[in-house]
Amino acid sequence: MAVQGPRPLDEREMAAWHALIRSHNRVIRRLEAELEAERGLSLPAYEVLAHLSEAPEQRLRMSALAVHAVLSPSGLTRLVDKLAREGLVRRDRCGADARVIYAVLTPEGLERLESAYPVHLRGVREHLLDHLSEQQCDALVDALGGLSGIGQADCAAANEVEVAAAAECDAAEAALADTTA
Amino acid sequence: MAVQGPRPLDEREMAAWHALIRSHNRVIRRLEAELEAERGLSLPAYEVLAHLSEAPEQRLRMSALAVHAVLSPSGLTRLVDKLAREGLVRRDRCGADARVIYAVLTPEGLERLESAYPVHLRGVREHLLDHLSEQQCDALVDALGGLSGIGQADCAAANEVEVAAAAECDAAEAALADTTA
DNA sequence: GGCTTGTACTTGCATCTGCAACAAACCCTA
DNA sequence: TAGGGTTTGTTGCAGATGCAAGTACAAGCC
């Protein structure tokens, strides 16, 4: 018997697929263009700053940050290079493990983030949320929320590693401080 | 009085925003990785071939193709360069307007596209549609379909230009053929 | 202690992408 | 038919990004 490939998309499926691709494309492009034009931040850069601002002590190890910002390790290294050159982020060594680097939000970084936040927020509203009713919002979460499951799991895992490592690191540094004192 | 920025996102809005970003990211990355690994085609390359295959005479002018594939003109020029080097696409001059270039699908291009189609289809099902009920599918289209409005308008416009130009071009070429004959 | 294995980041290299400048061709007008 | 303005595609250049290799360090084992 003939080996059958997957069934072709029917109209409904095609529409759903295209809706996801096109709407994302549209929203992201506009958001990115506005953020870049008005505040000189790329979307990945904004996300890095935003994640740092929400992290304890406003710092994250590079590996965790890469997972959050959905960047490769090398991509993150270069982005942090760039942000550091602009003074928005600083690199700190971890006392407990010399391999680990913490990216730390600087006051300038926080300031830039706060100036970019309304632009980002406005864009998200204007290009996405303003076009959705509450019901549509919920439907979107219902339909797509499950899909990002693994992504969220990755983030959660990264968070755990982060928290554990941070605790360990703090402990080690405290011990070091005691010894030094 | 204080200048108020836009209202911060509430939980529902945040969830919708993240659902869109994460799910798209997830689906696209996997799809692209599979297509690249199994058939040696990037997603933009696949889209170019797919659009050509659906076009009359399996050809489109560069400008129309750029709109369809959501690429800048220069990006498309280089992608078509690459596809042409692989023999999947050919460049044809337009008889009526020497500025216009048609990208034409070659038999090899069609063959490659047909081999990639099931991979693409499987990916779309596996990473997106299999996770959606019919109701969720419809809800997605309802919520996001409107957003892609302008994108669709652009495509429609490109199509009209395309059709008009093709007709004009065909007419000119026919006339030329008559003269030559 | 010294060796092996694994982890965390960085760098070399190649690719993709877009903007701006460019060249060629077209169209309209005088 | 010469000139000005427009359209179409291509190229120069710069930036972003990822994979694979490299470096530095840590952890477990002899």
Residue found by looking up tokens 């710092």 in the block:
A59
Which one-letter amino acid corresponds to residue B98?
Answer: A
The predicted pLDDT at position A180 comes to 46
Average pLDDT for chain A: 85
- Given a contact cutoff of 8 angstroms between Cβ atoms, the answer to whether B46 and B113 are in contact is yes
pLDDT tens digits, residue range A16-44? Answer: 998 899 899 889 999 999 999 999 999 99
Confidence of residue A164 (pLDDT cuts 50, 70, 90): low
Q: What's the CA B158/C1' C27 distance, rounded, in angstroms?
A: 21
pLDDT at A156: 61
Contact yes or no for B23 and A134 at CB 8 A: no
* pLDDT of A45 over the 90 cut: yes
State residue A7's pLDDT score. Answer: 82
* B60 vs B101: CA distance, rounded Å: 8
Rounded CA-CA distance A103/A90 in Å is 6
Predicted local distance difference test score (pLDDT) of residue A28: 93
Nearest CA in chain B to A69: B22
Count of C-beta atoms within a 10 Å radius of residue B98: 8
- Beta bridge pairs of residue B59: B104
What is the four-CA torsion angle of B121, A71, A31, A116, rounded to 10 degrees? Answer: 160
Nearest one of B168, B99, B165, B132 to B27, comparing CA atoms: B132
Which residues lie near nucleic chain D, judged by CB under 7 A? A 42, 44, 70-75, 78-79, 82, 97-99; B 61-63, 73-74, 76-78, 80-81, 91, 97, 99-101, 161
Is the Cβ of B153 closer than 8 Å to some Cβ of chain A? no
Q: Residue A119 — very low, low, confident or very high, per pLDDT cuts 50/70/90?
A: very high
Spans of chain B below 50 pLDDT: 150-151, 176-181
CB under 8 Å to B115, separation ≥6 — which residues?
B39
CA atoms of A165 and A96, how far apart (whole Å): 9
Q: What is the DSSP letter of A2?
A: P
Instruction: Tell me the one-letter amino acid at B17.
Output: W
Residues A150 and A155: their CA atoms lie apart, in Å, by 8
User: For residue A9, which phi and psi values (nearest 5 degrees)?
Assistant: -70, 135
Which pLDDT score, from 0 to 100, does residue B181 have?
39
Q: Model-level pTM?
A: 0.86
Q: Among residues A74, A4, A129, A130, which one has the least CA distance to residue B20? A: A129
